[in-house]
Structure 1
Amino acid sequence: MYTFIAGVLLLIIGYFTYGKFVEKIFGPNSGRQTPAFTRTDGVDYLPMSEKKNSLIQLLNIAGVGPIFGPIMGALYGPVAFLWIVIGCIFAGAVHDYLTGMISIRNRGAHLPELAGKFLGKFMKHMVNFFAVLLLLLVGTVFVTAPAGLLHTLMNGSVAMGVIIAAIFVYYLLATLLPIDKIIGRFYPVFGALLLVSAVGVGGMLIITGAPIPELSLTNMHPDNLPIFPLLFLTISCGALSGFHATQTPIISRTTQNERQGRFIFYGMMIAEGIIAMIWAAAAMSVFDGSAGLQEVLAGGPGAVVSEVSIALLGAVGGTLAVLGVIILPITSGDTAFRSARMIIADYINVAQTKMMSRIWIAIPLFVLSFALTKIDFTLLWRYFSWANQSTAVIALWVATMYLFIAKKNYWIAMIPGVFMTYTTFAYILNAQIGFGLSINVSYIVAAIATVAIIAIFFIAAKKARLNNIPLEDELGNVA
């Protein structure tokens, strides 16, 4: 229990200390107009309040990742708490803040465009592919996951196909309509339900004195699987997630003032970290250890959510908590497809003011996503995890380049960037969905590849600084 409470407190303290430090390094300019005003189009670019933007950002980034990931990461024991806290404060929240703020400084640009500007044209094409692939996987996972939970909640009275179809219809509307028509209007209600579920589960863990294990360096290897790199891929959302780099530009296009960035981007990642802590703690304490958790996980992470919610909150409260969890993936799935539509539109330079321009980009995405729903969820999640963290790596290197060119403290982005570069290389080299090398060989090859990436970065960064690559695309220079 003490480890859990200390972790939550550290996350809150991290927002007011390290978050302020990161903000000072970047240097927001409250007098600089944001894309919400300079590029207003009534669809994607329009000013919204800080409160609304923050809530939308939280719901955008907090899909099933900060719940399903920590539940599966709980198999490693309380060491999962360490990655959530340290990863969230020093990697995830930094990643989200810098991605959002750099996007604001560049017309609300999405990650592929930013990668092209700061890392080269080849990276723009590669990141565009990665980002759209990731968003398709996210959108698909965030169809099947809530559909399964709803199917269970309704005791199978409604067919899975019908539920999936209903979710797809909602996603299509949220993808095509102006952001303030559905997303901006319904998210406050969804947010209230999210808070009820998270606070309810977390509060009951403390009130009932749940046996949350304390930090230990023993018994942390489920099925003899190595903590590194698996834990850092299993728990992505809630600690560090590249998916967030695809979501922050949605809100960078509606943010009214750069000074709001720390609360909207850094702060909402901290909030997601707290959600992840709650569900990791619940998974560790309710099932009598990893053996009991593994048994329930055989029915999927959704089964854990259902049992935890009902065990801690009773039938009525548990149902509300499950609904809150269902809301999370739905409010990320809709913006996943919206982001994919915006990224493709930017890539092929097609304005999105006309409905038909949005439709002919969106429809193929939904057709592909429907086909992906036929693939096993576990396999989808593995590919999602790797694509997700690989996207985070790219976003951190973009942020590092930006700060290097600006002659600011680029280590705040580079250190987590290097660590996750090594992690993702080690994972894909060892994983069966990758190259299937032994873990020791994977460590060595990943180290060599990471050193090569660092060397390439510094060569490119020094050249970019000498060439005075502009850091912003509009409204002059920023000190």
Structure 2
Amino acid sequence: MNSLVLLLLGLALFFIAYVSYGAFLAKSWGIDPSRKTPANALRDDVDYCPANPNVLLGHHFSSIAGAGPITGPILASVFGWLPVYLWIVIGSIFVGGVHDWGSLFASIRHEGKSIGEIIRVNLGQKGKMLFNIFAWLTLVLVVAAFTDICAGTFAFDPAKGDLTGARAGTASVLFIFLAMGFGYFVYRKGARLSVSSVIGVALLFFCIFLGYSFPVLKLSKLAWNVILIIYIFAASTLPVWLLLQPRDYLCSFLLYAMLIGGVIGVFLVRPEIVISASNGFTIGEGSKAQYLFPMLFVTVACGAISGFHSLVGSGTTSKQINNEKDSKLIGYGGMLIEGVVAILALISVAAFKDAAGTPAIIFSSGIATFMNSFGLPVEVGKVFVILAFSAFALTSLDTATRIGRYVFQEFFDKPDGTTEKTNGSNMYVATAVTVAASCLLLLYGYSKIWPIFGSANQLLAGLSLLALTVWFANTGKDYMMTMIPMIFMFAVTLSALVILVKNFFAAGNIILGVLAVVLFVLAVYLIYTAAHTMKEKKSKNLSA
């Protein structure tokens, strides 16, 4: 099989789905361009701030992509390229895309609040509190995992003398100051977005040049952990227009450049797929055995669906949507673009028989080799792709911290959904608690956190689909497009959590084992609550 066929087929199917299935969803849900969005109705220029759809797509895509669509397909390739490819394409179109867009749209219709608020309205206050506990615990896992990933990516090891991390770290810090300048001039000085974007992107690549040529931040992993903790605290509390939105927007051009470069490289090289199409249902033996179901779907993770996306859509993006019609491009389109990244990640490992190393190394080596076909030196290409990879992870990290702050603050909302002023609802306190909890989990390290993060993340997607299904049912809309994916995701993730609980306790990881049990119990109770509530409402309607 030639990889170009897989890429072209994926691009064609994603385009057809965006035009046709996207139009069907928009009509079924009742997207209304004339309706005032929360970004305009509740504008405060701190969290609620209407944004140009292209800027917001950049912010949203940068935030949701993270390391997942790269890491997941590469790790899942042990099952063979065919099941991974099928799940990326089918999952992105009918599961992940629907989940992302639905979560964003539902939040817009609920004053830009999180999925937890949608659950409160449709399932009651207890359901909201349970969901928010689950979501906050998942976000703590996200922050811990991605802090460890970013710190490890940026760290400099004097013994090896490899400057790749120092170059990426130096450039990333320069990005932060560039983004703040961009946000100030666009939002406070009224600079034109088009002109500012051209200048901003030029300066973005100048930052890459400076980072590559003068990698001054040769710091240890511990030092980077400290810097990142300080950074995410600031990113969570500063006005969204000053740092989060402009940084993600500018970094999106870096990600688009990597994506375009990878696509062009595959077109020119047209590498053959050299790994097996399928390696059977079971990989490995004994306690190390992995099963196609459910582990394939948990491992691919963000490459097809991610619960974290629902928190981004209902946490930050919904507060910046200027018009409901923009939600299709950002919610559905953003997930389909991520599907393209996942296909490229699969090709980067499937086209090289002896691909070895971390997913970041495998991906950067593969894409750099493809881009070498149009003249970019392989070594420069590797640094560029590693920088893009770290940008994915860093944008997800700062967004996750901010959303964790939102969810924690919502714990202190009154039963009617209005905010009650308490110490817990203070954004600095909420951020500090979220960051502190993540720091405790950092002690376990990325490799131990990732398995439970993957399962919790996918289970969160199932719970978000549950909230959407109940909301659509209560408002008289067709809910089959969310209910079918919901049932499948619950079957996958609850099965995976059972396996993880067994493995954690067997390995002596008691805290992670207990956390997995807590997540399982919360999810099952929420499913029971939703089923019971829908049954009661149906009975009332029949009796009426």
TM range (shorter): 0.7 to 0.9
SS at match of 1:237: helix
Determine the C-alpha separation between the residues in 2 that align with 1:220 and 1:166: 43
Determine the C-alpha separation between the residues in 2 that align with 1:115 and 1:85: 29
Find runs of 4+ consecutive structure 1 residues off by over 4 angstroms. Answer: 217-221, 350-354, 433-436, 450-459, 465-468
Aligned positions of 1:156-235 closer than 5 A: 157-212=218-273, 216-219=277-280, 221-223=282-284, 225-235=290-300
Deviation at 1:118, TM superposition (A): 1.8
SS at match of 2:242: coil
For residue 38 of structure 1, what is the aligned residue in structure 2?
41
What TM-score results when the alignment is normalised by the length of structure 2?
A: 0.77
For residue 133 of structure 1, what is the aligned residue in structure 2?
137
Deviation at 1:21, TM superposition (A): 1.2
Which of 326, 331, 338 is 1:260 aligned to? 326
Q: Which has the larger displacement, 50-59 or 366-375?
A: 366-375
Determine the C-alpha separation between the residues in 2 that align with 1:173 and 1:420: 35
| 1:97–1:261 CA contact under 8 A, matched in 2 | yes
Deviation at 1:351, TM superposition (A): 7.2
For residue 59 of structure 2, what is the aligned residue in structure 1?
56
Q: Which amino acid aligns with 1:260?
A: D
Q: Which amino acid aligns with 1:125?
A: M
Which of 121, 124, 127 is 2:128 aligned to? 124
Deviation at 1:55, TM superposition (A): 1.1
For residue 396 of structure 1, what is the aligned residue in structure 2?
465
For residue 15 of structure 1, what is the aligned residue in structure 2?
18
SS at match of 1:28: coil
For residue 369 of structure 1, what is the aligned residue in structure 2?
438
Q: Which amino acid aligns with 1:301?
A: P
Deviation at 1:304, TM superposition (A): 2.1
| 1:131–1:391 CA contact under 8 A, matched in 2 | yes
Deviation at 1:342, TM superposition (A): 1.0
1:363-421 Cα deviation digits (max 9, x unpaired): 12222222222213222001101110111111101111111122221100000001111
For residue 335 of structure 1, what is the aligned residue in structure 2?
399
Aligned-residue Cα RMSD (Å) equals 2.7
Determine the C-alpha separation between the residues in 2 that align with 1:321 and 1:451: 40
Q: Which amino acid aligns with 1:303?
A: I
Which of 154, 157, 167 is 2:163 aligned to? 154
Q: Percent same amino acid among aligned pairs?
A: 28
Unaligned runs of 5+ residues in structure 1 are: 437-449, 469-479
Q: Which amino acid aligns with 1:92?
A: G
1:17-51 Cα deviation digits (max 9, x unpaired): 11221111101112211111111122111211111
Deviation at 1:256, TM superposition (A): 1.0
Determine the C-alpha separation between the residues in 2 that align with 1:217 and 1:162: 43
For residue 441 of structure 1, what is the aligned residue in structure 2?
none
Unaligned runs of 5+ residues in structure 2 are: 157-161, 166-217, 372-377, 414-418, 507-522
What TM-score results when the alignment is normalised by the length of structure 1?
A: 0.86
Deviation at 1:284, TM superposition (A): 1.4
Determine the C-alpha separation between the residues in 2 that align with 1:180 and 1:392: 28
Aligned positions of 1:64-463 closer than 5 A: 64-78=67-81, 79-151=83-155, 154=163, 157-212=218-273, 216-219=277-280, 221-223=282-284, 225-249=290-314, 250-286=316-352, 288=353, 292-293=354-355, 296-297=356-357, 300-313=358-371, 314-349=378-413, 357-431=426-500, 432-433=502-503, 457=530, 459-463=532-536
| 1:145–1:302 CA contact under 8 A, matched in 2 | no
Determine the C-alpha separation between the residues in 2 that align with 1:391 and 1:9: 29
Q: Which amino acid aligns with 1:51?
A: N
Deviation at 1:167, TM superposition (A): 2.2
Q: Which structure has the greater CA radius of gyration?
A: 2
1:133-182 Cα deviation digits (max 9, x unpaired): 11111111111112222226625742112222222222122111111000
| 1:309–1:319 CA contact under 8 A, matched in 2 | no
For residue 200 of structure 2, what is the aligned residue in structure 1?
none
Determine the C-alpha separation between the residues in 1 that align with 2:146 and 2:504: 24
Determine the C-alpha separation between the residues in 2 that align with 1:383 and 1:455: 23
Q: Which amino acid aligns with 1:251?
A: T
